[in-house]
């Protein structure tokens, strides 16, 4: 008796999960001119957690920390400072198969760890905190497991109370989404 060929059933395309997410990133922060002559580029670590409200919109909180060498005129020399930022942000994007493009932005608070930038009038005496605003864009690649994605994000941020410091941070990140949707 002749054998009947089994029909080939293709699996439906894997879509990205939506729901609660956590995202961890490593990158660098670079200050823009006027501040760039007094503060070197430094490594950054960041964390974002939040919720996808829709497949194209997510809201969350972020925290980032970076370390920089102060390149101010002597004295002192060989000084370092840390910049800590945290706040609320949103992301608006679209997905094309496994690739997603997004715009993001938000507001929060920044803290500087040292008074070393007082000498060049970036911070005032005793000033450690400021509001901060950021906005940027990125690209994300959905891995085979639909809960994981890797991406690249670049944001510009402004710290008004610290002499209108402007900087750019870039990060490579891994995102995990705890959702089935």
Please give the Cα distance from 34 to 75 (Å, whole number): 19
Domains of the chain: total: 1
Look at residue 77 and tell me if it is in a domain: yes
CATH code of 125's domain = 2.40.160.20
pLDDT at 18: 86
Please give the Cα distance from 102 to 57 (Å, whole number): 9
Q: What is the pTM of this model?
A: 0.88
pLDDT at 77: 83
Please give the Cα distance from 167 to 169 (Å, whole number): 7
**Tens digit of each residue's pLDDT (9 = 90 or more) over 38-47:** 999 999 999 9
Please give the Cα distance from 111 to 85 (Å, whole number): 6
Per-residue pLDDT band for 9 (boundaries 50, 70, 90) equals low
Look at residue 10 and tell me if it is in a domain: no
Range of the domain at 121: 20-53+65-178
Look at residue 73 and tell me if it is in a domain: yes
Look at residue 13 and tell me if it is in a domain: no
Look at residue 59 and tell me if it is in a domain: no
**Tens digit of each residue's pLDDT (9 = 90 or more) over 85-142:** 999 999 999 999 999 999 999 999 999 999 999 989 999 999 999 999 999 999 999 9
pLDDT at 2: 61
Look at residue 4 and tell me if it is in a domain: no
Q: Say which residues have a Cβ less than 8 Å from residue 158's Cβ, sequence separation at least 6.
A: 132, 133, 134, 164, 165, 166
Look at residue 168 and tell me if it is in a domain: yes
pLDDT at 150: 98
């Amino acid at each position: 008796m002749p054998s009947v060929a089994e029909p080939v059933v293709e699996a439906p395309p894997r879509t990205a999960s939506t729901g609660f997410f956590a995202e961890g990133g490593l990158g660098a922060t670079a200050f823009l001119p006027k501040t760039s002559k007094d503060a070197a580029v430094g490594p950054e670590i960041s964390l974002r957690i939040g919720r996808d409200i829709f497949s194209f919109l997510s809201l969350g909180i972020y925290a980032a920390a970076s370390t920089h060498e102060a390149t101010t005129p002597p004295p002192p020399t060989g000084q370092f400072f840390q910049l800590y930022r945290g706040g609320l942000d949103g992301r608006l994007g679209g997905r094309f198969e496994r690739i997603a493009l997004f715009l993001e932005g938000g507001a929060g608070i920044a803290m500087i760890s040292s008074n070393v930038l007082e000498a060049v009038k970036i911070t005032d005496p005793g000033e450690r905190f400021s509001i901060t605003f950021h906005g940027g864009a990125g690209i994300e690649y959905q891995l085979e497991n639909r809960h994981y994605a890797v991406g690249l994000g670049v944001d510009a941020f402004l710290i008004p109370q610290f002499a209108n410091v402007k900087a750019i941070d870039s990060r490579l990140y891994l995102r995990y989404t705890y959702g089935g949707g």
